[in-house]
Structure 1
């Protein structure tokens, strides 16, 4: 591997790490509806079916 390839690899790995970090932080803060599969009717979810998933919010 040459230096250019290593630099690009490090940049791509850094971007991927930041994206994963953002997803984890959003999930912990409740900004996503991944726990309900998107069918609970809360902000950002499809209208709907299972609001019992978010009863603690």
Structure 2
């Protein structure tokens, strides 16, 4: 999730993530954090791949 999103409300993002029981990471970025914070995004993806299926 990103805290400075002006396209999708960060509060709405949190509500949706909670509803699907998602593991989240909040980044200080705009709507598309990948170009700005590639290592943090890659770390989160790598962690998700290792996690057991629910």
Bigger Rg, which one? 1
Task: Say whether the fold is shared (TM-score over 0.5).
Answer: no
**TM-score, normalised via structure 1 length:** 0.30
Q: Greater relative contact order (Cα 8 A, min sep 6): structure 1 or 2?
A: 2
Whose helix fraction is larger, Structure 1's or Structure 2's?
1
**TM-score, normalised via structure 2 length:** 0.31
